[in-house]
A and B are shown apart, each in its own frame.
Chain A
Amino acid sequence: MFMFISKRFLQLIPVFLGATLLVYFLVFATPGDPIAALSGGKPMAPAVEEALRAQYNLDQPFWIQYGLYLKSLVTFDLGQTFSGQEVSDVLGRAFPVTARLAIMALAFEAVFGVIFGVIAGMRKGKLFDSTVLVASLIVIAVPTFVLGFVLQFFVGVKLDWAKPTVGVGAPWGDLILPAAVLGLVSLAYVIRLTRTSIIENKNADYVRTATAKGLSRRRVVSVHILRNSLIPVVTFLGADLGSLMGGAIVTEGIFNVPGVGNLLFKAIKAGETPTVVAVVGVLVLIFVLANLVVDLLYAWLDPRIRYV
């Protein structure tokens, strides 16, 4: 087990290098001129343009740019944004907010997804099952933009139960509504995954044995059926954590959350390489670690799975 974990940590190094190289190249290859955009379409003195290009190494060929980036990375210098801030500061502000949001969204989809999925699976084809199916369809077919907007308007403005947007410091309470919106689409996945798994396992022999043993139905469902049904759900949630961390552009926009999604989106639009590379670098680390946790959970959920 120790070997397994330490091997995984060693893999972080090539993964991090590969991801940063790839993303650095992608930003490098995006069309458009970041310096021209900085001027807002107004003229810029050629000497100023040249000075700015030199400041961000944009006048260098790709390999030199990436080499310079790695060089400063060794001294924990992540570079600067076009507005002159340290990328490390920018990340330090955005990641805690997004992490809170992602964890809440994950908890939301895990708790409700599994509960609804179990009920729907145990009562397959009944009213509850169909209702959940229709609700999932709405979540899938209506873009997050619309759902978020409608919820924000009713909960935040009409009913005044919560602030329409997230306030200074992004407190946990303000993040409940955004987290729910963020978790909605994944909720549909979790429900259906749980439901299918439950249906598959509820006729298994060990369930019959457990029932025959006289165990309560609740115990049979929660310990025997559920535990054996959770592997696909856990896999999905592990993968989803990363998407929630990096891909919450729409939700963060609706609720004005100063998080990673918006940071990344703005940086991509502006061609701000250091920011994009740093965000993706951190995301890749999160992915690998989330995967490790998922793999360890496999072994816990199903003792037949072993790692060496």
Chain B
Amino acid sequence: MSENPTPEIIEPSDGARNTRRTGKVSSRTIEHYVAPLEETPLLAVDFVDETAEPQSMWSQAWRSLRKRPLFIISAFLILLVIVVAAFPQLFSHVDPTACRLDDSSETARAGHPLGFTLQGCDVYSRIIYGARASFLVGLFTTIIVVVFGGVVGALAGYYGGWLDAVLARLGDIFFALPLILGAIIVMQLPAFRDNRSVWTVIITLAAFGWPQMARITRGAVIEARGADFVTASRALGLSKFRALVNHVIPNSLSPVIVIATISLGTYIVAEATLSFLGIGLPPEIMSWGNDISNAQTQLRNNPETLMWPALALSITVLSFIMLGDAVRDALDPKARKG
């Protein structure tokens, strides 16, 4: 609420004061603490422009979103990462695969602003060229997990009953399977054995990541399906499925956004773990994860080689978390007011 000026005390009029009463008369003077209308104009937000097009929740959110500094900054950062991922050669002229042991663990010098790795590769160049794989892994794993896990969770939570039992237990089974075991198997599938790529990792991580998202969505949907506005919309004649899509899901989104934005970062790190175990990206594909895990053994000798790719990862995750926050705020009419 915006701060209102202290309302003036309206003095009772002379006429009222002079009125005589019969019977038991109170000696209290009644004071009115309501400001006259002209001093407290209606706020613009409450003004309904009846000639305007009716707005959907999403377009309202977009209008609110695009003015938020949080959104502008995060969108800019994400755009930057995308450009780096798409055109790494614009940002570095050093070949990231030209590694000479002569330069092993050397510190920064002209043309090599962040120094060299243990193998004598240029750290800066590897971060620039590693952005593509890391970004793709993070983004697409998250998208697949949100779509698949979200749909499963929403259906399970909304309809309940046997559908919930089957979907939730299926999730339990997948959740219990060790990621490493699954990754070893996926890497060996005929389709991937000889051309391991970013997609191999994305599919592996998504296959084992969706149950968590399904659980979270299911919980949020169970909470939202009992809300008054859902009952109201059903009473207004909306079909059960339409109520799910139009009202339940939009109101279950915030935990999903939180989990998704953080997971994006953890997927990039998980790729590092898989690569470290030899079941992730092949060594010739550069990624921040690969570089972080390579730097692990040098943690005590040359911690900078670990710090820089971790910093790149942090900035990417930060921008997605900020974006998620901005989107969530924009979708929440209560938060928008405050």
* Interfacial residues, chain A to chain B (CB-CB below 8 A): 7, 11, 14-15, 18-19, 22-23, 26-27, 29-31, 133, 136-138, 140-143, 145-146, 149, 185, 188-189, 192-193, 196-197, 199-200, 203-204, 231-232, 234-236, 238-239, 242-243, 246-247, 249-250, 264-265, 268, 276, 280, 283-284, 287-288, 291, 294, 298, 302, 304-305
Looking at chain B, what size class is its interface with the partner chain?
35 or more
Docked-complex contact B219 and A193, CB < 8 angstroms: no
Complex-state Cα separation, A268 to B215, whole angstroms = 27
With a cutoff of 8 Å between Cβ atoms, the chain B residues found around residue A30 in the complex are: 181, 184-185, 188
Q: Of A138, A146, A185, which one neighbours B306 at CB under 8 angstroms? A: A146
Docked-complex contact B173 and A137, CB < 8 angstroms: no
Known: A197-B255, A239-B215, A302-B226. A19 touches B176 (CB 8 A): yes
With a cutoff of 8 Å between Cβ atoms, the chain A residues found around residue B172 in the complex are: 15, 19, 284, 287-288, 291
Known: A234-B219, A284-B176, A288-B169. A196 touches B293 (CB 8 A): no
20 A-B contact pairs sorted by A residue (CB < 8 Å)? A23-B177, A26-B177, A26-B185, A30-B184, A31-B184, A136-B262, A137-B321, A140-B262, A140-B317, A143-B292, A146-B306, A196-B258, A232-B254, A235-B215, A235-B219, A246-B176, A268-B184, A287-B175, A298-B222, A305-B223
For residue B54, CB closer than 8 A to chain A, the reply is: no
For residue B266, CB closer than 8 A to chain A, the reply is: yes
For residue B28, CB closer than 8 A to chain A, the reply is: no
Secondary structure class of chain B's binding surface, majority of residues: helix
Secondary structure class of chain A's binding surface, majority of residues: helix
The smallest C-beta distance from B182 to any residue of chain A, in angstroms, reads 7
Complex-state Cα separation, A250 to B313, whole angstroms = 20
Docked-complex contact A283 and B296, CB < 8 angstroms: no
Name, among B176, B177, B311, B329, the residue most crowded by chain A CB atoms within 10 Å (CB to CB).
B176
Q: Of A136, A143, A232, A280, which one neighbours B176 at CB under 8 angstroms? A: A280
Please name 5 further chain A to chain B contacts, defined as beta carbons within 8 Å, in addition to the given A133-B318, A235-B218, sorted by A numbering: A11-B169, A146-B296, A196-B257, A288-B169, A298-B222
State which residues 278-324 of B face A: CB under 8 Å. Answer: 292-293, 296, 299, 306, 310-311, 313-314, 317-318, 321
The smallest C-beta distance from A4 to any residue of chain B, in angstroms, reads 11
The smallest C-beta distance from B288 to any residue of chain A, in angstroms, reads 9
* Interfacial residues, chain B to chain A (CB-CB below 8 A): 165, 168-169, 172-173, 175-182, 184-185, 188, 211-212, 215-216, 218-220, 222-223, 226-227, 254-255, 257-259, 262, 265-266, 269, 272-273, 292-293, 296, 299, 306, 310-311, 313-314, 317-318, 321, 325, 328-329, 332, 334-335, 337-338
Docked-complex contact A18 and B259, CB < 8 angstroms: no
Complex-state Cα separation, A22 to B207, whole angstroms = 14
Known: A239-B212, A280-B177. A200 touches B334 (CB 8 A): yes
With a cutoff of 8 Å between Cβ atoms, the chain A residues found around residue B175 in the complex are: 239, 242-243, 287
